[in-house]
Structure 1
Amino acid sequence: MHYLAQALFLLLLIVGFGFFIKNVKKLIRNIKLGRDIDRTDNPKARWKNMIRVALGQSKMVKRPIPAILHIFVYVGFIIINIEMLEIIIDGLFGTHRVFKFLGGGYDFLIGFFEILAFLVVFGVVVFWIRRNIIKLKRFNQPEMDGWPKKDANTIIYIETILMCFFLVMNAADYYLQSQGYSHYVLAGSFPVSNLISPIFNGLNLETVALIERICWWGHIIGVMFFMNYLYYSKHLHIFLAFPNTYYADLNPQGQFDNLESVTKEVQLMMDPNADPFAAPAEPQGEPEKFGAQDVMDLNWVQLLNAYSCTECGRCTSACPQNITGKALSPRKIMMSTRDRLEDVSKIMDANGGKFVDDGKTLLNDYITAEELWACNTCNACVEECPIEISPLSIIMDMRRYLVMEQSAAPVELNNMMQNIENNGAPWQYNQMDRLNWKDEN
């Protein structure tokens, strides 16, 4: 019977980690669909930014209450899963609490894990109340209808169930230890689950042992499920927050990059030896676009941003255009980019890894021109994001496409550019009158 359990456990690990690795490979493939961009400069500053923002969660503390709760859940959930190492060893070799030889150190660890598990449950319950009872505005925007809202609650339910499995498992283990049952020798300290263990009074020990095993298996199966659910969830940021902050743009906010395709075009015009009628040699045989029409026109960091988005809505809640009722929601920009990227991924999966044009693009089919032109480029969304995501960079690249490829700028912008071309100023007056303002005083 023990050998069967060990074989089933090994099979569970192979399937769980195998599916996880498959999804990681798909994730990397999808991100690499983006254009190349060099973010290898200044590694010291990048490591510092990652440690400060992703690990230290420095931008979360702007809202202290959710920051504290998030730390409970984040730190607790990560540290508690250190015990997974013991569970894996026990499952593979048929042992029970294999690290009990650590003595007092083991007592401290289990006790610490239990306190963290209680704090995780407390944190996720408060998060559920904020989303479903209080219904904070930023969690109930139009883009959160349907799957995003369901996904957020699903994560809360999974984390709650996993922590309950952990605590009930320990409570049953503690009760069996106190009764000297079978191989349940004294090991560990249980400051939380010993408060739960009285519920087993009156049950026969075999039943309690069965409950302990059910919770043990439930915990490991739940962790495997959660690990593989991440790819389909906003909780990918658990892993991606670290590379996302490492590869973040270190330039001052408001400093926009020169469009590489425009730079190449200008260099070609300035080259006296260049053939003005020759088509540029592109790797895929297609002329390079100005700006971004689809996800393949964005760079890979922007696609990493899309997968890293936590859908917390801090960007949208800080956006002055959204606050004043405009169509723009920076969170929706990131969610739509990820949705399009996932649709492209499904097409590639169905066609042997090759993308077949489906007649859709990120522009217009997922993000409208109205959303793009609503942005006033104030960088509030970038400043507010807890993990350094930049919806603004995507907005600007798509605007560039509208202006430079489709000549689809708003009338006001076209008038301004025409005035600059003709008058050397955004306003429509003669160049000779440009300094008249000085005589008004």
Structure 2
Amino acid sequence: MQYLPNILFAIALIAGISFFVMNIRKLYRNINLGKKIDRTDNKQERWKNMIKIALGQSKMVKRPISGFLHIVVYVGFIIINIEVLEIIIDGLFGTHRIFLGFLGDAFYGFLIGTFEILAFLVFVAVIIFWTRRNVANIKRFLSSEMKGWPKADGNMILYFEMVLMTLFIVMNATDTSFQQAGIGNPISQFVAPLFDGFTAETLHLIERASWWIHILGILVFLNYLYYSKHLHILLAFPNTFFANLNPKGQFTNLESVTNEVKLMMDPDADPYAAPAEGAEDEVPEKFGASDVLDLNKVQLLNAYTCTECGRCTSSCPANLTGKKLSPRKIMMDTRDRLEEVGRNIDANGGAFKEDGKQLLNDYITPEELWACTSCNACVEECPVNIDPLSIIMDMRRYLVMEESAAPQELNSMMTNIENNGAPWPYNQQDRLNWANEE
């Protein structure tokens, strides 16, 4: 019975980490369902972006209030969880505050004191976040795609963080020897008087209960990430690394289409000549994208990384003028469809079984796609370099090249270009007639 707590702790730790690894493998599998794309160029710039944007939160602070609060929660939560290492060692070996003996009173007190101050700041920041989401009626949190689970998920994470921070402070406040030492307790010393009059046994029981719930809560939080928008805690780093480094507004071209256009423009070209050695002239099986399996791996990574913060939608000119498009919804829909495909694969022994559904029409409507002005405001605003526009353009490409389903205005323009070499309905020979008018 002496080692029962240690055994139970080891079982909980192994179970929590194993479930987390299983979900990460599923996540990796789902992202790799996408088409291959080479984003390994210019590694120095990519590392710089990751450090500056994902680690340094440089794009978050463009909106100072939410940016500052996010940095407090981000830094506080990460640094406080350094203490988890001590909890794991204590839990496995039955020790208590094992780092105190190694680090000494002064340094250990400085660390724990810093953790307590950060825990308090995180708690305050989380309350402000909750108020902004639920009381302040900020428009970007009231969109239709934020009803139901997305709203509940955002609040759930805030509750998690409030409870974990509270447990950390209570754990320290009820640790009698720690309070008597008077080191590292700048916040818990003010909470400790709430427990005056409790017996030593009761205080020990509260301290142990807080300790257990705190570490079990962290393991639950770790595994909740896969089902939550807070997966960006992990994915923001690879997402910023593999982000598109090309200038915004530079769209991708299909090699086969480009070669076909060049062939049409060259009067001396032989249409029956074999392609040059090493040339990529293979016609894709589908032009554009109608489902998640047509998108590339980085686009699927983008979908899982989306924080649902709504900065993209709040800066989208189409959305601001009342059109149906919401770049945030584009990413959420892509992630939801990818999860559906993943469950399909799991249910069918590792192979996707056609389910009669696709991303286009079942999740994202053509109306949303054609509302986009391709201005890149959503890409510029995203704090973790997500690119909703690339998905919109690939789905538009499918509508035009596979379904011939472009809007009438666009069809007219393309017909004019084909017939007249310009988007206007005038014969090439008549273009200079205006110069002859008196």
TM-score by length of 2: 0.94
Which of residues 305, 323, 333 is equivalent to 2:330? 333
Aligned residue type for 1:235: H
Aligned residue type for 1:82: I
How much does 1:266 deviate?
Answer: 6.6
Q: 1:438 and 1:189 mapped to 2: Cα distance?
A: 84
Aligned residue pair count? 427
How much does 1:85 deviate?
Answer: 0.3
Equivalence for 1:248: 243
Aligned residue type for 2:83: E
Q: Cα deviation per residue 1:212-259 (whole Å; 9 max; x = unaligned)?
A: 000000110000000000000000000000000000000000001112
Inter-CA distance 272–169: structure 2 relative to 1 (3 Å threshold): same
Q: Cα deviation per residue 1:351-371 (whole Å; 9 max; x = unaligned)?
A: 111100000000110100000
Inter-CA distance 266–353: structure 2 relative to 1 (3 Å threshold): farther
1:175-324 maps to which residues of 2 (within 5 A)? 175-178=176-179, 186=181, 188-260=183-255, 262-263=257-258, 272-274=272-274, 288-324=285-321
Aligned residue type for 2:204: A
Which of residues 159, 164, 167 is equivalent to 2:161? 159
Does residue 1:371 correspond to 2:383, yes or no? no
How much does 1:32 deviate?
Answer: 0.2
Inter-CA distance 196–259: structure 2 relative to 1 (3 Å threshold): same
Q: Cα deviation per residue 1:376-411 (whole Å; 9 max; x = unaligned)?
A: 100000000000000000000000000000100000
Aligned residue type for 2:346: D
Structure 1 residue runs of 4 or more that deviate by more than 6 Å after TM superposition? 264-271
Which of residues 399, 403, 411 is equivalent to 1:402? 399
Inter-CA distance 305–105: structure 2 relative to 1 (3 Å threshold): same
Q: RMSD of aligned C-alpha atoms? A: 2.1
Aligned residue type for 2:14: I
How much does 1:429 deviate?
Answer: 1.3
Q: 1:299 and 1:439 mapped to 2: Cα distance?
A: 52
Q: 2:433 and 2:91 mapped to 1: Cα distance?
A: 84
Q: 2:179 and 2:122 mapped to 1: Cα distance?
A: 27
Inter-CA distance 437–142: structure 2 relative to 1 (3 Å threshold): farther
Q: Cα deviation per residue 1:245-297 (whole Å; 9 max; x = unaligned)?
A: 0000000000011124535767999663459xxxx999xxx961100011000
Which of residues 405, 426, 430 is equivalent to 1:429? 426
1:109-128 maps to which residues of 2 (within 5 A)? 109-128=111-130
Q: 1:203 and 1:99 mapped to 2: Cα distance?
A: 28
Inter-CA distance 438–242: structure 2 relative to 1 (3 Å threshold): farther
Equivalence for 2:132: 130
How much does 1:135 deviate?
Answer: 1.9
Q: Is the 8 A contact 1:295 1:303 kept in 2?
A: yes
Inter-CA distance 388–99: structure 2 relative to 1 (3 Å threshold): same
Equivalence for 1:99: 99
Equivalence for 1:150: 152
Unaligned runs of 5+ in 2: 265-269
Aligned residue type for 1:316: T
- Match of 2:151, SS state, is helix
Inter-CA distance 438–299: structure 2 relative to 1 (3 Å threshold): farther
Q: 1:440 and 1:76 mapped to 2: Cα distance?
A: 73
Aligned residue type for 1:234: K
- Match of 1:378, SS state, is coil
Q: 2:182 and 2:245 mapped to 1: Cα distance?
A: 49
Q: 2:253 and 2:168 mapped to 1: Cα distance?
A: 53
